[in-house]
Amino acid sequence: MSQQLQSRRLRQPIVVVLGHVDHGKTTLLDKIRGTAVVKKEPGEMTQEVGASFVPTSVIEKIAEPLKKTFPIKLEIPGLLFIDTPGHELFSNLRRRGGSVADIAILVVDVVEGFQKQTYESLEILRSRKVPFLVAANKIDRIPGWKPIDTYSFLESIKSQRKDVQTQLDNYVYRLVGQLAELGFNADRFDRIRDFTKTVAIVPVSAKTGEGIAELLALLAGLTQNYMKTKLRFAEGPAKGVILEVKELQGLGYTIDVIIYDGILKKNDTIIIGGLNGPIVTKVRSILVPKPLQDIKVVKTDLTQIDEVYAAAGVKIYAPELENALAGSPLFVAENEQQIEEYKKIIQEEIASVKYYNANIAGIVVKADSLGSLEAIVEGLKQKNIPIRLADIGPITKKDITEAELTLQEAKEYGIIAAFRVKPLQGIEVPNNIKLIYSEIIYQLIDDIEKYITEVRESEKRRTLDSLILPGKFRLIPGYVFRRSDPVIVGVEVLGGIIRPKFPVMKKDGKRVGEILQIQDNKKSVDRATKGMEVAVSIKGNIMVGRQIDEGEILYTDVPKEDLEILLTKYKDIITDDMKEVIKEIINIKRVNDPTYALGLKV
Ligand code: GDP
């Protein structure tokens, strides 16, 4: 190959699949892989780890009936699909300020429409700046749909009944609407003029295969047309990202890597991120699955290769990989200077994700990879949940100490959030700290949010329950049931609230006793508010007719501290009538205590 040709070579775009659970991500990937195996020529498929390659010849064969609609001459060698769908692995496909993925398929069940994880997927695609198209999946479930033996949606739709076509349109319009709400212009792919401005919706069935032709043709066409610069292959040392770190029996630790640029060779010096800083090591072997004719055979048999060209998914065996960090970049260095440069880049990148601030009463987050930690921190920031410590690795003594320090300041943040990590051996998280574990990023964030709200509510209830609140009531003339020891009278609540145990005072500030019980229609109640007429028993050294009279107005005797808490922390429970009562109580109390409610706003 001439130098010129080589420099013009394009690599395979890297494709990821995201979407809500059960919307068909796995089935779609299986269908694409299966189709590729059936349609390929012998020797055409390369073997990948963590990814599947669909060669251009296969795409062209499947898209043959579309030639008139999509007159694209493909220059890319094919498409590289990341095998594991969903957020979790996607978050490890990180690359400074973006993603290693070139394009994404957002799978949406056409009948169900957008669901929680569809929104979350879009959010993460937006934050990593990954373009996407929507696979409106499960079209075969539209009532009346007649599966046609074709990979082409356009061919199949022609044979469907009018009402079925209309129903599909309605579903697609709903998706268009849901995307519009999020600021995306979208349309069915065959109605789009400018693909740079409009998100393509491709109706597919991962089950029957209808629509797979258009899906593949669009993925190939769009990436080739709009991402040429990004896809230009550099004939230099490899760059990649670690997807997963795995221990292989009989071999030791290995890393599964996606190479997105350059060439990786056996014996290359690589620099990667590690738990305790950058790791510099030498590639002992590059491993890929043995070529198979049938994808049904599990890909476990590995074989060694000497070099690999981007884009590719490979397993690397090298010394010192046990502390390697998934989500970290991988660089091949050709000299000492490059080693130092890359070490610095990796250090900076790890530092940009990790976090510690001893002045913040916030939660402790521990995750198993750089990518997941980054995604979790982003998610928590969006929800305004403060973080004290964010780090990678198992839960340690330090994490517990930090959570305990937070606990002293803010009970609701006394949390250790663990994403796919456990406490170190011998370390036990004490009961007063909430350990929240999950293997799903958004589940973890949801659980954290739920716990914080719960603790806040219960704290609020607890404090609010113990507060003496402002209340004003009048002894209704003619309703004295007992004159003393205790006094039992009928009262009308004029404002605020009265509850058992609240102390009671007269208009001149003199304490008359404490409310024992409140009865509404002969039933004990724990509160009475404005407008209610109830029977109240008051314990104290008083007698109706002496210290207090029928028709007299009484107030709850609100302590200074209680009023302060009410006015600062629980303003939202103050009703208009309670506000008036507060003003009156302040006037009464100020006579004896000029500092009562001083500086507080009612
Ligand atoms: P994931 O959780 O998004 O990976 O979803 P799966 O691929 O596991 O699919 C969930 C369920 O939907 C499975 O029972 C699939 O068989 C079914 N399914 C997926 N795609 C289709 C489709 O196009 N048509 C129909 N009828 N069922 C589908």
Chain segment 379-415, per-residue pLDDT in tens:
999 999 999 999 999 999 999 999 999 999 999 999 9
Specify whether the CB–CB gap between 238 and 310 falls below 8 A. yes
Is it the case that residue 44 has pLDDT exceeding 90?
Answer: no
Sheet containing 363-367: give its strands across.
355-356, 387-392, 363-367, 415-419, 434-438
Specify whether the CB–CB gap between 494 and 474 falls below 8 A. yes
For residue 335, the Cα-to-chain-centroid distance in whole angstroms is 40
Mutate to test the pocket of ligand 1, among 20, 21, 26, 27 (most ligand atoms within 8 A of CB): 27
Looking from the CA of 442 toward its CB, the CA atoms found within 13 Å total 14
ipTM over 0.90: yes
Axis crossing angle, helix 25-39 with helix 212-226, rounded to the nearest 10: 90
What is the location of CATH 3.40.50.10050 in the chain?
354-460
Mutate to test the pocket of ligand 1, among 16, 20, 22 (most ligand atoms within 8 A of CB): 22
Taking all residues of the chain, what is their mean pLDDT, rounded to a whole number? 92
Which residue's alpha carbon is nearest to atom 18 within ligand 1? 24
Atom of ligand 1 nearest to the CA of 205: 23
Cα separation, 418 vs 502, in Å, equals: 45
Which residue's alpha carbon is nearest to atom 6 within ligand 1? 24
Cα separation, 505 vs 246, in Å, equals: 73
Nearest to 202 by CA among 86, 62, 108: 108
> Of 5-19, 347-361, 427-441, which range is least confident?
5-19
User: Under 8 Å CB-to-CB from 95, ≥6 apart: which residues?
Assistant: 241, 260, 329
pTM: 0.79
Atom of ligand 1 nearest to the CA of 20: 3
Which residue's alpha carbon is nearest to atom 14 within ligand 1? 22
Is it the case that residue 65 has pLDDT exceeding 90?
Answer: no
pLDDT (mean) for 107-117? 96
CATH number of the domain at 354-460, please?
3.40.50.10050
> What percentage of the chain's residues is helix, strand, coil (to nearest 5)?
35, 30, 35
Reported as a single tens digit per residue, the pLDDT across 272-312 is 999 999 999 999 999 998 876 554 444 467 889 999 999 99
To the question of domain 239-351 being in CATH 2.40.30.10, the answer is yes
- 85 annotated ligand-binding residue: yes
For 161-205, the DSSP string reads -HHHHHHHHHHHHHHHHHHHHTT--EEEGGG-S-TTTSEEEEE--
Q: What is the pLDDT of residue 513?
A: 95
Cα(436) to centroid(ligand 1), Å: 30
Cα(24) to centroid(ligand 1), Å: 4
Ligand 1 pocket, CB under 6 A: 19, 21-27, 85, 137-138, 140-141, 205-207
Specify whether the CB–CB gap between 349 and 314 falls below 8 A. no
487-498/528-529 β-pairing: antiparallel
Cα separation, 206 vs 135, in Å, equals: 9
- 447 annotated ligand-binding residue: no
pLDDT (mean) for 153-170? 97
- 343 annotated ligand-binding residue: no
| Residue 207 in tokens | 């089950």
- 24 annotated ligand-binding residue: yes
To the question of domain 471-591 being in CATH 2.40.30.10, the answer is yes
- 21 annotated ligand-binding residue: yes
Atom of ligand 1 nearest to the CA of 141: 26
Cα(258) to centroid(ligand 1), Å: 27
CATH superfamily of 3-230: P-loop containing nucleotide triphosphate hydrolases (3.40.50.300)
Residue 519 is classified by DSSP as E
What is the location of CATH 3.40.50.300 in the chain?
3-230
Cα(123) to centroid(ligand 1), Å: 23
- 568 annotated ligand-binding residue: no
Q: What is the pLDDT of residue 460?
A: 81
What is the location of CATH 2.40.30.10 in the chain?
239-351, 471-591
Specify whether the CB–CB gap between 489 and 544 falls below 8 A. yes
User: Under 8 Å CB-to-CB from 341, ≥6 apart: which residues?
Assistant: 333
Looking from the CA of 262 toward its CB, the CA atoms found within 13 Å total 14
| Residue 469 in tokens | 């609140």
